[in-house]
Structure formats: structure tokens, C-alpha cells
Amino acid sequence: MSDWAGSRRGEAHSRRNKTGSCVPSRWSNGRKRTVDGTLRVGRHGDGTDPESSGYSDHRHSDSRHSIFTTPESSGPVSRCRSQTDWATQVEDDEMRMGAHRDMQRRRILGSEFSQRERKTSSGSSESCDSKEGENIETDEAVLLRRQKQINYGKNTLAYDRYIKEVPKHMRQPGVHPKTPNKFRKYSRRSWDQQIKLWKVKLHAWDPPVDEGQDKVLDNIDDLALDDVMDIELDFPTLSESPTTPGLSLQDEDCAGTPSKVQRMENTVDPDLA
Amino acid sequence: KMWKKVSLMVVALGCGSQNMDRLVELLNSMRSNSSGVEQQLASFMEEAQCSARSEETLAQVVSTIYSKAVSDRSFAATAAKLCDKMALFMVEGTKFRSLLLNLLQRDFCRREDLQQSDVEKWLGFITFLCEVFGTMRSSSGEPFRVLVCPIYTCLRELLESTDVKEDAVLCCSMELQSAGRLLEEQLPEMMTELLAAVRDKMLCPAESQLTRSLLMEVIELHAHRWSPLEALTTQYYNRTIQKLTTTA
């Protein structure tokens, strides 16, 4: 019984590496140095190489994890628990099921759509690009990862405000952010870049800082807080610039913090892509 | 600015316990089989959603429900229903369901210690774990597959327990009645293994009559594909078990 459980966990673990792990994908580009400048030894040399060159990224993500909670995560997970904790596995299963349904829906709609395309002259340049037939992304792991990245962007106050303010039919291409289409074939770099630009654009709808604080401090005036002690809090220094090169190609799990999360957590500038 | 945030957190934690008392009251007044239970669940949910403004307070709500669920086995089924309704409730990026699964996983990881230190809680934990699995579904309508293996493990451990043998076997039998079908659907090979252990134990003359009756009922249920046995058979077992449990 334990053997089975062990191999099951192993399976889940390797699945996780394909989808959401922090091992950098730029490894496959064959670059000799990581972004940090550390030299990579050889592609297939030591089994530990990918780990060691990715280690600095792991450290990044770990130190961030202890402070920020990414959406739909179970919060900081203690080391003694397996890497794939139950909460995350349930989330993943849910997304996978959702992705299947998405794909089925897309397949049904896709055939209709491409027929319509051929008949009418295409309007926007984007519909020209996708001939739904050959260019659909079907790799489940990729779809899951992309959907996760999209979720991070949508799970923000900025996105909520955006969709309330600008109905879909009023959207102007170029001006208004548009969610990248996870079903189209793109390279990893291209996709990550699209996500980044999309999220940067969404920041235009970030709530004004004052509004957020007021909500949180709703009843504070009603309470007499004269006796509350001064407590020194140590906030880590965070990279201010949303376009730090080190972040651009990383898996979205490690990068950025959606502003929705930050209501109670900290007072640092929420504008972090 | 920072000072205000900290003080708010302090206050929230303080107020939290008052809100928790109110929630605990609501929980205590829920009787599993009463007709008003749906309404009670709804009021509880409203109350909880109002008071859980931060991740900390949400965690307290989850923890409150969890504690009651594992310490009162008659409440476990109702608690599971409640958790199912509240599963996707999210505060600051954290879902109710995730916090609940964290607690379950924590107790699963330390179940040995739990069995040694507080055997009732251990039984309560396993009961609640099974109820959660049997009742809760993801938004795609699927049960939580990640719980399947842990549950089989726990059921096995119930059968092998040396202390509270009969209570453990009773717990195992009841949970198999409730979640057996689903467990077998998910992982038939492990059910086969489990049943083999059940048969072994049932055929062991050293086991008490009560144990063996409970186990025989399980075997029949399995053979019956987990649907309720014929009325007379069920009556037989009820009578037998009652007889055996009321003797000094």
C-alpha cells in the first residue's frame, strides 16, 4: 500500500515539476549562464545541475512565500509536509478538470469559429493569426500553467475594477488589456511576455492606495487604541521595478504579488508586476 | 501607516475570539438529524462570512469548525456538509477549503502521535476525514482524490489498532458504510486489500464477538456493492450489536 502511495506521490511530484515548479525553463535555451551570472556546467552532466542553477530562484520564491500568499494557495507550507500538499493538489485537480472542459468547449467552438473566419474578411489582426486547426495548444501541463498565470492576474482588485468599468464590447485593442489566449501556440518566452504586459496594463485600474486602507481601517476609530504598543515590523526589501530582468522569464508562481493579496499584509508599494 | 495596520491586526485577533464564541454557539446548537439543520447551516455561513474579514479570522473559523468536528463524531457529517458549502469562500487569496485541507493533512501526518495522546480525537479525525471525502466536491464535481490513499491507510490502521479495538473497528465499519462505494470506485485494488484484512480479522477467533459482527457486516455490504442490505439483515446486525454493546 505504501509503495503505491509513494509512487503516486512521485507521479504527482513530477507532474508538478512540469507545470508549476521554479526550475527555470530557460535551461532549455542552452544558455551558459543563469540570469544571476552563475555558470552552468553542462546540460546533462550532473543530475543536480538544474537544481543548483535554479537554486537561487528557489530561494527567491521561498523567501517570498513566507511573506506573501499567492492566490488560491494554502499559505506557507511547512517543510515537513510533502511538496504537493493536499490543498494544492485539490486546486490542481480542479483546474485540470476545468481545462478539459475548456478544451472541449474550444474544440466545439473552434470549428465553428474557423468556418466563420474563412467566410468573412477578418477584422482584427489577431483573428488572422489563429487558424484554430493547427495552432491549438493542447498540452495539458502548459494549459494548466497558463491558466494559473491568468488566474493570478484575474484575481486582483485591478482586474475586478477593470471588468466593471469597461464592458467587453467597449474594449479597444491596444488600449485595453486583453487576456492572452492560452489555447494559441506561443513560445514560452512569448507567452510569459504577454502575461507580463497584460498585467502591467491592468495596473492602470489599481485601486487608489487610500481607498484600500480606508476599507481596512473601517472601525478603527470606534476603538480606543491609545494603549497599543509601538511594534517594529521588519519588512524585507523588495525589488521596486516591475521590469526586473530576473523576473521576466520565471514561472509566474515565483514572480510578483497580486495587489488583492496586499490589503492586510504590508504597506509596501503594491505596484509590483 | 504601519502602526495602524499592526494595531488593526491586534484588534482583529482580539475581536476574533468574541466572534468565535458566537460561531461556536451556533455550531453547538446544530443537531445533525434535525429538520432545521439546513437553516442553521445557512445562518452559520452568513455569520462566518461576515466575521471572517482577514485570513487570520478565516483560519479561526475553519479551526473552530474543525475542532468541533473531530471532537464530536456525531457532528462530523454535518460539519462536512457545512465545509462543502463554505469550501470556495475566499479571503485575501486563501480559500476555506485550503485551510481545511491543511488541518486535515497536519493531523494525518501526526496521526501516530494523535493515537497515542488522544485516541478519541484520533477516531474523530478519521471520521471527519472520511466524511469530508464522502461529502465535499470540487467545483468540477469531483471528490478530493488526494484523500483516497490517506483514508485507506487510516482504515487499515483502525483495523490494526491494539488499544481501542472495538471502537476502532466500529469507526472503520461506519466509515466504510458511508464512503465505501466512493473509495472503491476511486481505488478498487486498495479496497481489495482492505477487505482481505477485514476477512482475516473476522476469521480470527481471538477477536471479540462485537468486532467480528461489525466486520461481517462490512463484508456483506461490500458484497452488496455498498448499497443497504435487506431490512432483515440490517435488523439482525443492529440487534446483535446492540446486545453486545449493552452487556457490562
CATH of the domain at B158: 1.25.40.180
What is the structure's pLDDT at A122?
47
List the single residue in A93, A94, A260 with the smallest CB-CB distance to B93: A260
Q: Which of A66-75, A206-215, B228-237 has the lowest mean pLDDT?
A: A66-75
Q: How many CB atoms lie within 10 A of CB A204?
A: 12
What is the structure's pLDDT at A208?
81
For residue B187, being part of any structural domain is answered with yes
Assign A30 to helix, strand or coil. Answer: coil
CB contact A51 to B (< 8 Å): no
For residue B12, being part of any structural domain is answered with no
For residue B25, being part of any structural domain is answered with no
B5–A74 CB contact, under 8 Å: no
For residue B181, being part of any structural domain is answered with yes
Mean pLDDT of B132-151: 95
What is the structure's pLDDT at B8?
55
> Given a cut of 60, is residue A24 above it in pLDDT?
no
**Higher pLDDT, residue A15 or A224:** A224
What is the structure's pLDDT at A37?
52
Q: How many domains does chain B have?
A: 1
CB contact B99 to A (< 8 Å): yes
Q: What tens digit of pLDDT does each residue of A64-117 get?
A: 444 444 445 444 544 444 557 999 999 988 888 888 878 888 777 766 555 555
Mean pLDDT of A153-165: 87
CB contact A225 to B (< 8 Å): yes
> Given a cut of 60, is residue A248 above it in pLDDT?
no
> What is the interface pTM, i.e. ipTM, of the complex?
0.83
What is the structure's pLDDT at B91?
87
List the single residue in B2, B8, B142 with the smallest CB-CB distance to A93: B142
DSSP A182-210: TTB---HHHHHHHHHHHHHHHGGGPPPHH
CA distance linking residue B108 with residue B127, whole number of Å: 12
CA distance linking residue A115 with residue A136, whole number of Å: 15
Structure confidence at residue A166 as a pLDDT band (50, 70, 90):
confident
> Given a cut of 50, is residue A18 above it in pLDDT?
no
For residue B131, being part of any structural domain is answered with yes
**Higher pLDDT, residue B26 or B179:** B179
A4–B5 CB contact, under 8 Å: no
Q: What tens digit of pLDDT does each residue of B65-110 get?
A: 999 999 999 899 999 999 999 999 888 889 999 999 999 999 999 9
For residue B120, being part of any structural domain is answered with yes
**Which residues form the domain of B241?**
59-247
Q: Report the gap between the CA of A49 and the closest CA in chain B (Å).
A: 31
CB contact B14 to A (< 8 Å): no
Highest-scoring range by mean pLDDT, A234-238, A239-243, A267-271, B5-9: B5-9
Highest-scoring range by mean pLDDT, A1-15, A231-245, B26-40, B200-214: B200-214
For residue B38, being part of any structural domain is answered with no
Q: Report the gap between the CA of A35 and the closest CA in chain B (Å).
A: 30
- Interchain CB contacts (distance < 8 Å): A and B: 122
B147–A86 CB contact, under 8 Å: yes
Q: Which of A49-53, A174-178, B153-157, B186-190 has the lowest mean pLDDT?
A: A49-53
Highest-scoring range by mean pLDDT, A214-223, A249-258, A260-269: A214-223
CA distance linking residue B206 with residue B203, whole number of Å: 9
Mean pLDDT of A131-160: 83
> Given a cut of 60, is residue A240 above it in pLDDT?
no
Assign A132 to helix, strand or coil. Answer: coil
Q: How many CB atoms lie within 10 A of CB A73?
A: 20
**Higher pLDDT, residue B1 or A243:** B1
B139–A223 CB contact, under 8 Å: no
DSSP chain B: -HHHHHHHHHHHHHHHHHHHHHHHHHHHT--TT-TTHHHHHHHHHHHHHHH--SHHHHHHHHHHHHHHHHH-GGGHHHHHHHHHHHTT-EETTEEHHHHHHHHHHHHHHTHHHHHHH-HHHHHHHHHHHHHHHHH---TTS---GGGHHHHHHHHHHHHH-SSSHHHHHHHHHHHHHHHHHHHHHH-HHHHHHHHHHHHHHHT-TTS-HHHHHHHHHHHHHHHTTTSPPPHHHHHHHHHHHHHHHH--
CB contact A160 to B (< 8 Å): no
Average pLDDT, chain A: 61
For residue B48, being part of any structural domain is answered with no
Is the pTM above the cut of 0.80? Answer: no
Q: Which of A15, A16, A83, A94 to mutate to test the interface with B (most CBs of B within 10 A)?
A: A94
